[in-house]
Amino acid sequence: MIDFHTVGELIRLAEEKDVPVHEIVIAREMHDAQRSRQSLLDEMTKNWEVMQAAVERGIENEEHSLSGLTGGDAQRLYASAGKGWLGAHVLQAAAYAVGVSEVNAVMGRIVACPTAGSCGILPAALYAARAQRHVSDAAVVDALFTAAGIGMVIDRNASIAGAEGGCQAECGTAAGMAAAALVELAGGTPPAIGNACALAIKNLLGLACDPVAGLVEVPCVKRNGFCTVHAMLAADMSLAGVTSVIPVDDVIEAMASIGRMMPHALKETAKGGLAATAAGKALAARIYPSHG
C-alpha cells in the first residue's frame, strides 16, 4: 500500500519510485477507493471539463448575483488584458479565476477545489497554463491529481475550511495546490513542487475569512483572482530555484496553528474584518432588511 501523511512523504515516495507526484496520488486513491486507474482518470477528466466550462462561462458572464454584489468583473478584466501593467497572460488568468467565482455566485456549476469559496484558483491557473504552454488535457488531468494530493495533506494536517482556519485555509490551500500543479506541468521536480506549495501558502498565512453579509462574494470573488497570480509567482519562483526557508510541512503546521489562534469573528462568521466595516454592515442591511 502506498500512503503519505505529509508533503515530504509524498515527495520522497515519488523520488524513491522515480515517478511523478501524480502517480503516487493515483496509486493511493486506487487502494483507498478500490477503483481502477482508468475510472479515476475518467472522473478527474470530467472535473476538468466542468472547470473549463466554468472558466468559459465566467469570462462572458454579465449576470449579477441575487445580492447584486458581484457580476461582470471577469469580463471586464479579460477585455482589458494587455492594457495595464501586468502582461495579458497574467491578467487573463486572474479573469478566469474571477469568472469561475462569479459562476459560483450565480449558482452555476463549479468544482470545489478544495472549496466553493476558492473554486476559481486552480482551474484558472491550469486553464492559463494550457493556453500558454499548449499542454495536453491529459497532462492537466495528471497535474490535478498532484494538486489533490497537496489538498489531502493540508486537509489532514491543518484545514481547508474557512470556518475552521480562515481564508488561509481556503484560498491559501488552493494557491498551494495550484502552484504545485503548475510546477509539475512545467516539468519541475518533486522537491520543486513542495517548495512552490510552501512559497504560495506561507505568504497567505493569517488571511481572514470575512465575507460581507455572509455571502461567498465580497471579498471572495476578487480574492480568487489575486491568489491565482500569487500561485503563478510561487511556481515561477520555485522553477527558478528560489526556495522556501521554512519547509512545506512546517508551513502547513503553521497554518493550522494560526487557524486555531484566529478569532471566531474572522472565521466565516461575517462578524469581523470587511464584514464588520460600516460599508459591509450597510450592504448586509440592504440584502437582509428583515434582520435589522
Segments of the chain scoring below 50 in pLDDT: none
Q: How much is the pTM?
A: 0.97
Residue 36 lies in a domain: yes
Residue 231 lies in a domain: yes
Length of the chain: 292
Q: Which residue(s) pair with 267 in the sheet?
A: 209
- Structural domain count of the chain: 1
Residue 252 lies in a domain: yes
What range defines the domain where residue 84 resides? Answer: 7-291
Asked if 106 and 72 count as a contact pair (C-beta separation under 8 A), the reply is no
What is the per-residue pLDDT for 1?
A: 77
Residue 15's CATH number? 1.10.4100
What is the per-residue pLDDT for 290?
A: 84
Q: Which residue(s) pair with 209 in the sheet?
A: 267
Residue 2 lies in a domain: no
Residue 267 lies in a domain: yes
Residue 92 lies in a domain: yes
